[in-house]
């Protein structure tokens, strides 16, 4: 017996972590908390109160939202739970917002049935041991630790990179981050930034926005330099030079999942400065 679909909250964090582990995903408490604080999470529970499905939505500030953490426990597949949960997410925002998600191979046919169209893809890279190239700051570019006074400018910069501002999410993600770095020019203006998030398995690098691939590589170098464990980065398509750098540093491309959208024919206008997304859930 499956209970009705309900909105989940902080008391459901352990159940969401268990659900994620049941399909081999590595969500931890910090990641689920950021999802809950930045958006809304819906899911089904069985008669024993165990969470058996989930779907999260992160609305950006005006015209775009990202759906992620779409999971159905193996024992409860084929009952339409994922479709119901994703529909609930999409119905929780205004009708004029475009909805974006990054699909698994298994999920793509479901999303197509729901009216999502593949418009892009990302490349997921994993690294067991980072081999730095010992890049130096180049002329007129300085990397510094993020300060709270940088937030408004960082939100603006991220907004032009992603296609919509996401002030609530970024504030929460920076709080969660192991490191948040900003790149400044010799006038002291912020021209790029990057975050690292320590997950249970990987240090996740992203989002990263930069004016060029050399600066993006410099951000990666600074975020990854003293990390001894595994790394992950999700890169938008077309970043050939940047991907070559990642390859030289020990990253291996794991897969290239499609980016799908609904309520829009394409991704929103971006300024070509996005080198790594935050994650497949957050976009």
Confidence at residue 2, expressed as pLDDT on a 0 to 100 scale? 79
Examine the pLDDT at 137 and tell me if it is beyond 70. Answer: no
Contacts of 59 (CB under 8 A, 6+ apart): 39, 65, 93, 97
Examine the pLDDT at 282 and tell me if it is beyond 80. Answer: yes
How far apart are alpha carbons 64 and 253 in whole angstroms? 28
Which is more confidently placed, 17 or 137? Answer: 17
Contacts of 281 (CB under 8 A, 6+ apart): 31, 35, 56, 58, 66, 68, 69
CB 140 within 8 A of CB 134: no
Confidence at residue 79, expressed as pLDDT on a 0 to 100 scale? 94
Mean pLDDT along residues 77-106: 94
Examine the pLDDT at 153 and tell me if it is beyond 90. Answer: yes
CB 126 within 8 A of CB 202: yes
Examine the pLDDT at 106 and tell me if it is beyond 80. Answer: yes
Confidence at residue 268, expressed as pLDDT on a 0 to 100 scale? 84
Mean pLDDT along residues 159-186: 97
Contacts of 228 (CB under 8 A, 6+ apart): none
Confidence at residue 227, expressed as pLDDT on a 0 to 100 scale? 94
Q: What is the pLDDT of residues 231-246, one digit of tens each?
A: 999 999 999 999 999 9
Q: Is the preceding omega at residue 61 within 30 degrees of 0, hence cis?
A: no
Q: What is the pLDDT of residues 193-218, one digit of tens each?
A: 999 999 999 999 999 999 999 999 99
How far apart are alpha carbons 30 and 22 in whole angstroms? 18
- The whole-model pTM stands at 0.96
Examine the pLDDT at 3 and tell me if it is beyond 90. Answer: no
Confidence at residue 267, expressed as pLDDT on a 0 to 100 scale? 82
| Residue whose entry in the numeric block shows the structure tokens 């775009």 | 64
CB 98 within 8 A of CB 261: yes
Query: Which CATH superfamily hosts domain 125-276?
Result: Gcn5-related N-acetyltransferase (GNAT) (3.40.630.30)
Mean pLDDT along residues 108-122: 95
Examine the pLDDT at 136 and tell me if it is beyond 80. Answer: no
Examine the pLDDT at 125 and tell me if it is beyond 90. Answer: yes
Q: What percent of the chain has pLDDT over 90?
A: 91
Q: What is the pLDDT of residues 245-279, one digit of tens each?
A: 999 999 999 999 999 999 988 888 899 999 999 99
Q: What is the pLDDT of residues 24-74, one digit of tens each?
A: 999 999 999 999 999 999 999 999 999 999 999 999 999 999 999 999 999
Q: How many CB atoms lie within 10 A of CB 208?
A: 28
Please list the residue range(s) of the chain that carry CATH number 3.40.630.30.
4-119, 125-276
Q: DSSP character for 279?
A: -
Confidence at residue 109, expressed as pLDDT on a 0 to 100 scale? 95
| Residue whose entry in the numeric block shows the structure tokens 């809950």 | 36
Residues 28, 102, 180, 132: is their CA dihedral positive or negative? positive
Among 207, 245, 243, 251, which residue's Cα sits nearest to residue 227? 251
How far apart are alpha carbons 3 and 52 in whole angstroms? 10
CB 203 within 8 A of CB 179: no
Q: How many CB atoms lie within 10 A of CB 58?
A: 27
How far apart are alpha carbons 65 and 97 in whole angstroms? 7
Q: What is the CATH number of domain 4-119?
A: 3.40.630.30
What are phi and psi for residue 134, nearest 5 degrees? 55, 50
């Amino acid at each position: 017996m499956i209970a009705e679909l309900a909105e989940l909250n902080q008391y459901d964090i352990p159940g969401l972590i268990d659900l994620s582990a049941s399909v081999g995903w590595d969500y931890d408490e910090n990641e689920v908390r950021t999802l809950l604080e930045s958006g809304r999470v819906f899911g089904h529970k069985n008669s024993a109160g165990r969470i058996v499905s989930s779907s999260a939505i992160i609305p950006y500030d005006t015209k775009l939202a990202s759906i992620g953490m779409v999971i159905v426990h193996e024992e409860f597949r084929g009952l339409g739970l994922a479709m119901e949960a994703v529909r609930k997410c999409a119905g929780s925002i205004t009708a004029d917002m475009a909805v974006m998600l990054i699909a698994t191979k298994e999920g793509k046919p479901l999303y197509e049935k729901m009216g999502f169209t593949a418009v892009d893809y990302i490349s997921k890279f994993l690294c067991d041991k980072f081999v730095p190239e010992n890049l130096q700051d180049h002329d007129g570019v300085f990397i510094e630790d993020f300060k709270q006074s940088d937030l408004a400018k960082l939100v603006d910069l991220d907004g032009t990179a992603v296609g919509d501002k996401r002030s609530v999410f970024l504030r929460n993600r920076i709080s969660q981050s192991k490191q948040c770095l900003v790149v400044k020019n010799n006038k002291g203006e912020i021209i790029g930034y990057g975050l690292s998030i320590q997950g249970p398995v990987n240090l996740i690098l992203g989002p990263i926005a930069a004016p060029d691939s050399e600066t993006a590589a410099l951000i990666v170098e600074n975020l990854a330099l003293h990390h001894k464990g595994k790394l992950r980065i999700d890169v938008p398509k077309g970043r050939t030079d940047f991907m070559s750098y990642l390859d030289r540093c020990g990253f291996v491309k794991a897969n290239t999942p499609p980016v799908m959208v609904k309520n829009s024919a394409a991704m929103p206008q971006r300024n070509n400065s996005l080198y790594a997304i935050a994650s497949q859930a957050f976009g």
